[in-house]
């Protein structure tokens, strides 16, 4: 073999080594991109699960506070003072409305009922304006609870 042939083979080997290095670099870049995408997806999924669990915990914690207030209201056993009895009844009714029918279905049905019955009360000309305003707030609270439930179910 002559020097020219040896030089040619060395050049071919150098070119092949460069092509192999480029291919290896491209493969490493593609592999790193795929790994980054998978890790990003896993991170987002984990963050969503943590966020959903935190939202549910916060909701249950708030519900615990409301139930404790309602239990305290009931444990007082009422009052002989009509103003205090009225305040306690209003507080209990407010707490029923805030807690919702899922936790207290019987009390909800006997005291709060449904949005349909609330709308009927709004049409009652004998209903005092302050009670109509309370009913409107309760309707808004019911709508908010439904939206929150839908949000927690769908994550959106």
Question: For position 37, what pLDDT does the model report?
Answer: 96
**Per-residue confidence (pLDDT) for residue 155, from 0 to 100:** 62
Is residue 135 packed enough to be buried (19+ CB in 10 Å), middle (13-18) or exposed (0-12)?
A: buried
pLDDT for 104 equals 86
In the prediction, which pLDDT does 59 show? Answer: 85
Q: Which phi-psi region, left, alpha or beta, contains residue 45 (left: φ > 0; alpha: ψ -120 to 50)?
A: alpha
Q: How far apart are CA 111 and CA 90, in angstroms?
A: 11
- The ranges assigned to domains in the chain are 1-113
Calpha distance 99→115 (Å, rounded): 15
pLDDT of 1: 66
Kindly give the confidence (pLDDT) of every residue in the chain, 156 residues in length, as a single tens digit, with 9 standing for 90 and above: 688 888 899 999 999 999 999 999 999 999 999 999 999 999 999 999 998 889 888 888 888 898 888 888 888 877 788 888 888 888 888 888 888 888 888 888 887 777 887 888 888 888 888 888 888 888 888 888 888 878 777 765
Q: Are 94 and 107 in contact (CB under 8 A)?
A: no
pTM for the full model?
A: 0.58
């Amino acid at each position: 073999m002559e020097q020219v042939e040896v030089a040619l083979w060395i050049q071919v080997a150098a070119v092949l080594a460069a092509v192999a290095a480029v291919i290896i670099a491209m493969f490493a870049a593609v592999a790193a991109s795929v790994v980054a995408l998978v890790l990003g997806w896993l991170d987002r999924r984990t963050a969503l699960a943590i966020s959903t669990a935190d939202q549910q915990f916060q909701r249950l914690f708030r519900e615990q506070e409301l139930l404790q207030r309602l239990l305290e209201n009931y444990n007082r056993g009422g009052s002989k003072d009509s103003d205090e009895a009225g305040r306690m009844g209003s507080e209990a009714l407010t707490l029923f409305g805030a807690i919702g029918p899922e936790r207290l279905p019987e009390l909800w049905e006997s005291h709060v009922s449904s949005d349909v019955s609330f709308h009927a009360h709004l049409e009652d000309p004998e209903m005092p304006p302050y009670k109509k305003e309370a009913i409107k707030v309760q309707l808004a609270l019911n709508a908010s609870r439904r939206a929150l439930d839908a949000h927690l179910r769908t994550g959106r």
